[in-house]
Amino acid sequence: MDLFEAINNRCSIRKFEGTPVPREDIEKMLATAIRAPSGANSQPWRFVVIENKALLANLRKAVEDKLAEITTWDEAKGLESKVEAYARYFTFFDQAPVVITVFGCEAPSVISSIMAAHGQPRKINSAKQSCGAAIQNLLLAAEALGYGACWMTGPTIADKAIEKLVGVGEEWFLVALIPIGKPKENPHSRSRKELSEVVEYR
Ligand SMILES: Cc1cc2nc3c(=O)[nH]c(=O)nc-3n(C[C@H](O)[C@H](O)[C@H](O)COP(=O)(O)O)c2cc1C
């Protein structure tokens, strides 16, 4: 598949067939993910591939529990139905045959460390941008191989619980969950703003 075709055809998939994803295809997607650029080639990413249904159910429960907790907070008063509406978009990942959990670790550059120590922390976050690049590569590889996927940061509301359940070291923080499988839906492509709205030439 041509690169532009993969980019233009890709859309978020939230319903999956149960058919397992062969390990060879998972490896191909991950090998493509790690070809992404990263700040100073720090490669601040780690991927944990989860196929275990019991573990996925536990991850989902952690997200549901967190959503339920948030609903009880004073700050959520009057917003309960909106919080509830998010639930569907935060929890469907356990229906996919495989979920790739993406973790990042901070690797601040010398300059960033000096600037932060001087009270001028930079707004950009190199590790998170690098992980984002890897995730987009992964999504495009999934598309090229005929799979559907969804980049999900919603579940990171339960990041501490998920990091514990997956069992990664303390230096790793949860960046996203990527459920992957053969698509069981064919959604309309979501619109984008016009180029003229988002691009300026100077
Ligand atoms: C950083 C990021 C986080 C996202 N988190 C979620 C999520 O938690 N749940 C979800 O259903 N979709 C999530 N999405 C998918 C977006 O909703 C989707 O990309 C957007 O609506 C455009 O649709 P498309 O991907 O089909 O083009 C996320 C996408 C990005 C890039």
- Separation of CA 66 and ligand 1 centre (Å): 20
Closest-CA residue to 40 (of 110, 132, 102): 110
Residue nearest to atom 15 of ligand 1 (CA): 151
Distance between CA atoms of 200 and 74, rounded to whole angstroms? 42
Mean pLDDT rounded to a whole number for the chain: 96
Residue nearest to atom 6 of ligand 1 (CA): 152
Q: What is the pTM of this model?
A: 0.97
Q: Could you give the dihedral angle defined by the CA atoms of residues 22, 174, 82 and 60, in that order, rounded to the nearest 10 degrees?
A: 50
Query: Does the Cβ of 90 fall within 6 Å of ligand 1?
Result: yes
Residue nearest to atom 5 of ligand 1 (CA): 152
- Separation of CA 196 and ligand 1 centre (Å): 23
pLDDT at 151: 98
pLDDT at 167: 96
The amino acid at 80: E
pLDDT at 108: 82
pLDDT at 102: 98
Show the low-confidence residues of the chain (pLDDT under 70). none
Q: Which pLDDT tens digit goes with each residue over 51-89?
A: 999 999 999 999 999 999 999 999 999 998 888 898 999
Q: Is 71 exposed, middle or buried (0-12, 13-18, 19+ CB in 10 A)?
A: middle
pLDDT at 84: 87
- Separation of CA 171 and ligand 1 centre (Å): 26
Q: Could you give the dihedral angle defined by the CA atoms of residues 133, 183, 186 and 86, in that order, rounded to the nearest 10 degrees?
A: -70
Query: Does the Cβ of 8 fall within 6 Å of ligand 1?
Result: no
Kindly list the structural domains of the chain, giving each domain's residue range(s) and its CATH number in brackets, ordered by start: 3-185 (3.40.109.10)
Instruction: Classify 127 as helix, strand or coil.
Output: helix
